[in-house]
Amino acid sequence: MTKYKEYFEKMLAENKELFDEFKKIHAQYTLDPDRLQDQFNLQGEKILEVIREYENRLCADTERGMYNKFSVALAEKFQNEVQYHFPMIDHIGLIVEKDQPAYEESFSIKKIDLS
């Protein structure tokens, strides 16, 4: 198993309870994002902290040595693995403004009189 996958599995195992909760809200959020955005953001903050921590652990050794140019690629592979398991992870932190009028209602084009 590659190193980034090992760290991903280790992250899931060491934070099993937290990720189990997040899997549930993630699945529900996929079906009803408007209603669950606030709850998804709250759970997601904790998850993103853990993900950053393990990504930093993974890349810490490669950043110092002669393999520092591979650190960015390693971090990207780790993030892709996270994205594969949690496709809606990029939606954490979105702010939904509910009082805004619909896009079609607020958009208008003024006609120019060319005569």
What is the structure's pLDDT at 85? 94
What is the structure's pLDDT at 63? 64
What is the structure's pLDDT at 21? 95
What is the structure's pLDDT at 60? 82
DSSP classification of residue 31: H
What is the structure's pLDDT at 106? 60
Helices (H) and strands (E) in the chain, counts: 5, 0
| Domain boundary assignment for the chain | 3-106
What is the structure's pLDDT at 58? 87
Q: Mean pLDDT per 10-residue run, the chain (115 residues)?
A: 91 95 94 91 94 90 68 88 94 76 59 68
100 burial via Cβ count (<10 Å: 0-12, 13-18, 19+): exposed
